[in-house]
Amino acid sequence: MTDLDAAKTGTLSGQIADALRLRLLMGEFLPGAKVSLRSLAAGYGTSMQPVRDAISSLVAEDALEITSARVIQVPELSRQSCDDIFRMRALVEGEAAALFVLRATEREFVQLHALSEAVRPAQMGVPFTQHMLEHIRGFNDWSFFIADRCGSPFMTTLIRRLRVRMAPIVALALTRDAQEDYSFLEFSTHIMMEMAWAARSRDGGRMRDLRRSDILTYQRYLYRRLGWQLETEATATSQGFTSPP
């Protein structure tokens, strides 16, 4: 859902902000996309002020920006910013995953297994680009299920903000016409199975390491679709080495 019914915050401006965050997460806006206050107000059937307040919240979170020409748009993240966000995501989501497995109930393990099964089609040799929305929704649901149950509201909020900020460039990468990396799909399947085992074993350290590897491998996959090299790959190439597939 992308309308106000999907929002949880009580105020109208908060509901609009939540709805916009969801639209960003679902890849509806690519980097550089312009956002119209008037169009949003008309679409949500409200006056301009709640929309302005919602936009202000998203600007404060760096999910949107206001240019010098007073244009509201989705930020076009630099390569350095993307690197920083992925580093932070690996650290925070890894720790959240470790905390989750130590406090999860049996029912929550069953729910996590169901969410894992929901994303398996994207990991069984079918390119993500053929079903981008399902891919994005499935992995968001899986990640937020863990984040919301890690026991740290601060980490939960940080994870959500980092993922909202990164979502437009993820969508951009997935819409690129690029050769599919089937080695990544195979690895992604394997690491999901390993995380399921670590969760069942309540091995927080193993879960932390696997989640970090999962995120950093996904970073490499997206960067390749964008035509970017990781720093380690660029260094290896300059020294006469080639990176593995």
Reading the block at residue 219, the tokens are: 């970073």
Residue 189 has a pLDDT of 77
Every domain of the chain and the residues it spans: 4-73, 79-238
pLDDT above 90 for 235: no
Checking 77-80 for CB contacts under 8 A at 24+ apart, the result is 77/31, 77/165, 77/166, 77/168, 77/169, 79/228
Residue 30 has a pLDDT of 96
- For the domain with range 79-238, which CATH number is right: 2.30.42.10, 3.90.79.10, 1.10.150.120, 1.20.120.530? 1.20.120.530
**pLDDT tens-digit map of 106-153:** 999 999 888 888 776 555 545 555 567 777 888 899 999 999 999 999
**pLDDT tens-digit map of 83-111:** 999 999 999 999 999 999 999 999 999 99
Domains 4-73 and 79-238 share a fold: no
* pLDDT confidence tier of residue 5, bands split at 50, 70 and 90: very low
pLDDT above 50 for 238: no
**pLDDT tens-digit map of 165-223:** 999 999 999 888 877 777 787 788 788 888 988 998 999 999 999 999 999 999 999 99
Query: Residue 85: CB partners within 8 Å, gap ≥ 6?
Result: 77, 162, 165, 166
- 4-73 folds as Arc Repressor Mutant, subunit A (1.10.10)
